[in-house]
Amino acid sequence: MAGKSDPEEKIIKAALRLAAKQGWTGLALADIAKSARVSLPALSKHFSSKTRILAAYGRRIDAEVLQAAADETLSGEAARDRLFDVLMLRFDALAPEKAALKRIAADLRRDPLAAAPLARPMLQSMNWMLEAAGIDSSGIAGALRVRGLALVWASAFRVWLDDGEDQSKTMAELDKRLRQGEEFRAGISRFNARRRSTFQKDAAQA
């Protein structure tokens, strides 16, 4: 993340610090501004809502993971293994704010309307995670991969929130969900291949 002189960083840190102590529901922008030692008008120049603060935090995590993935040179591994490693790098990046994220996640589960605006930023993050793993996220196929990965991530994230420092349960859940996704895609590919073969036979007989 950026240095201490970055006003957005100060605001994000203040929001997460307060969330860890008192939760997300009921946390006012004025409280965040006071904790960050900025005026409310100054905060409004950077963020129009708490949702925007969380989205900005997510983008910073994306950047951190992309850099870490580039540093680790994941290109020689199988696609599923690369994706596993990238998502574990994401959990590592989130770890310092785990207490806050646990409180935020619990509050948002009780308030679907507040959680809804975060769906788009999450899909954008998953788009970057695919790209970090060397997996194409463009086009219709890419969009389906992004949405599938979002489901994988959501399942593993729920486990991670209550997991220990070794993250063994998180890794097991992530591996299981990625394998299920791979098996599903393989099944779809076999189905499409059979359908194409049947169509070609029918066309030849016509």
Closest of 77, 32, 79, 71 to residue 51, by C-alpha: 32
List pLDDT tens digits, range 112-144: 998 999 999 999 999 999 999 999 999 999 999
Question: Which pLDDT score is estimated for 71?
Answer: 86
Q: Hunting for tokens 């189905």 — which residue is that?
A: 191
Question: Which pLDDT score is estimated for 183?
Answer: 61
For the chain, what percentages of helix, strand and coil (3-state, to nearest 5) are there?
80, 0, 20
Share of the chain above pLDDT 90, in %: 76
Question: Which pLDDT score is estimated for 181?
Answer: 77
DSSP string across 73-127: T-TTS-HHHHHHHHHHHHHHHHGGGHHHHHHHHHHHHT-HHHHGGGHHHHHHHHH
d(CA 178, CA 148): 9
Give the mean pLDDT of 47-52: 96
Long-range contacts (CB closer than 8 Å, 24 or more residues apart) made by 17-21: 17/100, 19/100, 19/103, 19/104, 20/97, 20/99, 20/100, 20/103
Question: Which pLDDT score is estimated for 202?
Answer: 53
List pLDDT tens digits, range 155-198: 999 999 999 999 999 999 999 999 997 765 554 444 444 555 55
Contacts of 121 (CB under 8 A, 6+ apart): 54, 55, 58, 59
The phi-psi region of residue 66 (left if phi > 0; otherwise alpha if psi is between -120 and 50; otherwise beta) is: alpha
For residues 160, 161, 164, 170, the Cα torsion angle rounded to the nearest 10 degrees is -10
d(CA 17, CA 12): 9
Q: Are 115 and 109 in contact (CB under 8 A)?
A: yes
